[in-house]
Structure 1
């Protein structure tokens, strides 16, 4: 199946952006911290369409930080609609989704786009595809919850996220302490 009607999908972190400049990226979804300066690496990219969202990678409110919100996921879905609407005029395309490290917000955004593009596809299959694109994926659970709701997946995306987290803990045990240290222990508990 041709997910997102685009030929190449990439997820990365900010430090990896310069290495993707020669890869003919046509579409970029940037998910950044609100106070992050503009990223200079995109100056070396060819012509591309880019949308930037700004919120923090948190799952519980913290003073002075912006939680992922329904509106952010709505903007991701509008970005996906734009990909679909322009697919007829594209010979090929390369979508790059990034956040700070390419692990949480960007993987949640890519999962949202994949679930939107393939509404009949099983959620576990979508998470398998996500791991093929970005093996270290640990999608932000708040974002996935909003996507689940907005896409009418009736909790199935969130349940598949639990199984995905369990898979990730089995293959990358360091995530258990790493996520707990980042204030994401609730996500680790989801896997248990």
Structure 2
């Protein structure tokens, strides 16, 4: 499918774009990694799935709303010359990620999905640490949520939820490793 730019926009369009999907449970570091990735890649956009679906009232079909809105936003930014899109959220099944890939199929994009993994105790420690900086106490809710999400995601082996990517290191080290894995460095 051809995307034509409005006359007021630059005409040099990157031939392919990449979508880097960061999947994982609450508190594992998806947002932090996405932000550092965006800062490391020129022509990049960070799209936080939780923010995309943060609407009132909530949509009847949150996943459909998320995927259609992501496709719209990626198309908008793609037409203006951006070529890297970092999307962080939690997807619960391979079918959900396949739906996202299908919706992005009209764009010349390579979709790379990573399932962020971390030992459970380190994941819980990160949740406790971030909770200590918040005004609203949601620790109990977040601990229950991460337990549920980790059970759904499993250990990542052959789940179709993304290539397992250990996030135990510092964000800058993780970005270098990910960019190397994607051949973007």
Tell me if TM exceeds 0.5.
no
Normalised TM-score (structure 1): 0.31
Normalised TM-score (structure 2): 0.32
Q: Which protein, 1 or 2, shows the higher relative CO under an 8 Å CA cutoff with sep ≥ 6?
A: 2
Larger Rg: 2
Greater fraction of residues in strand: 2
